[in-house]
Amino acid sequence: MLIAKADTALVSIIALSLKVSLSAVFFATLLALPLGAAIAVGRFPGRKAIVVLLNALMGLPPVVVGLVVYLLLSRAGPLGDLGLLFTPPAMVVAQTLLILPIIAALARQAVEDAWIEYREQLRSFGVTGLAAAPTLLWDIRYSLVTAILAGLGRASAEVGAVMIVGGNIDGVTRVMTTTIALETSKGDLPLALSLGIVLILLVLLLNAAAFVVKEAAQRRYG
Amino acid sequence: MILPLKLEGLSYSAAGREIISPLSLSIEAGPSTVILGANGAGKSVLMRLMHGLLEPSSGRILWSQGNERAIRRLQAMVFQRPVMLRRSARDNVLFALRAAGVETTACGERADDALREVGLAHLASNPARVLSGGEQQRLALARAWALHPEVLFLDEPTASLDPGATREIEAVIKAFDAAGTKIVMATHNLGQARRLGDEVLFLHHGRLVERSPVETFFKQPASAEAAAFIKGELPWA
């Protein structure tokens, strides 16, 4: 019922949530896929340590990412002049940093598994080392959807990072998760709960859409 | 010309086990060379060493020409289970051509020629991964054909195919031979060795036991191991 009489404020909260998280997924994917692929096929000293570090960073606490970005963007911080703190772009930056290791680590594993299968064939074609990375990424594109969805799940679910760098300002940086946290502490449990349901439904919808596209493409291209 | 290929004291060990015992031989242009031997004899490893996919533990691999790029460019390999890239059959051939540095303007025509040669022209735009096993292997041959290699290595190219598909693959291999490409093929199939080979290299437990023309090898094998192998593989003979 509460969802049904959704007012414009609520709609804008939901829209901002989607905008922030999807932007973060976009930028993180752009950076994480080449990074993951490079680590997968590259041979350089310290590679194993980087793999372990990247895997560990998947568990990065959102509040810690929020705090670091807060310090970077605060007026006295090195990027303070940009004036981004307590704006949606700051939230995008925080979520991008949060999910970049998740997408990169999962992509690294997927590319490395493919590399075992493709290595000899590509080498026979004269494609070795880093040159193989774009080919591998393109060839396992359907598997990478799962890695990207993991990033989306994390971004849309977290509250700590956006709370700290966004500030949960009404009408400016308030998103679904921060609203839920706020309404819960205010005692408006029905509103918090219905927002929670909306959030879950949205994530489910995005995953279902990605799944359908992936399945169709996989059937078509094998 | 990158042939003849000379192997000097070539050996290969992995995990403390010697897979190829030191051997020296020369692979000349012309007659098709068949590497025969039981499973685990070292056929695949020897081919991978020659093709440069494995580094020898000792010894040298010498092509007649020293230019690294030309050496890579003028050889191709077809594997027992070829890896098909997740794109169309034609794009698979184009990928091989571009990777070899063929000028973009020439790629399209060469890809179409190669697909026609192996009888896949009608499937050019189909995704490679959904082709049948035999069609995939023919596509692997098309990728090699497009490159116009001087040497073609084939590692048990029909081992996982049915007789019909095997015949089609063998026809394409014969076409390579007729076009002047040097064939170096590993197989444990004696019939195939007879049909496609001019000379036999017989490997037994990583040692090169015998090298002889195909007729001589089957009529009068010089080694006891080869005689036993021929008898074992042809129990009705």
Structural domain boundaries of chain B? 81-148
Contact A222 B130 (CB under 8 A): yes
Q: What percent of chain A has pLDDT over 90?
A: 89
Tokens (6 digits) for B131: 């082709």
Neighbours of A192 (CB within 10 A): 18
For residue A12, give every residue at least 6 positions away whose Cβ sits within 8 Å of its Cβ, in sequence order, or none.
Answer: A171
Q: Which of B53, B86, B101 sits opposite A124 (nearest CB)?
A: B53
pLDDT for A219 equals: 85
Nearest to A36 by CA among A94, A109, A116: A109
Length of chain A: 222
> Residue B237: what pLDDT?
41
List, in order, residues 6 or more apart from B107 with CB less than 8 Å away.
Answer: B94, B97, B98
Please give, rounded to a whole number of angstroms, the shortest distance from the CA of A54 to a CA of chain B.
28
pLDDT at res. A5: 56
Name beta bridge partners: B10: B23
Q: B95 contacts in A (CB within 8 Å)?
A: 125, 135
pLDDT at A3: 53
Contact state of A221 with B130 under an 8 Å Cβ cutoff: yes
Mean pLDDT of all residues in A199-217: 92
**Residue ranges of chain B with per-residue pLDDT less than 70:** 233-237
A166 and A88 in contact (C-beta within 8 Å)? yes
* Chain B, nearest residue to A115 by Cα: B83
B95:A126 CB<8 A: no
Contact B79 A127 (CB under 8 A): no
In chain A, what residues touch B53 (CB-CB under 8 Å)? 120, 123-124
User: Do the chains contact at A124 and B76, CB–CB below 8 Å?
Assistant: yes
pTM for the whole thing? 0.88
**Which residue in chain A has the smallest CA separation from B86?**
A139
Say if the Cβ atoms of A220 and B72 lie within 8 Å. Answer: no
Tens-digit pLDDT profile for residues B173-205: 999 999 999 999 999 889 999 999 999 999 999
Domains of chain A: 8-221 (1.10.3720.10)
Torsion of CA A63, A65, A71, A74, to 10 degrees: -80
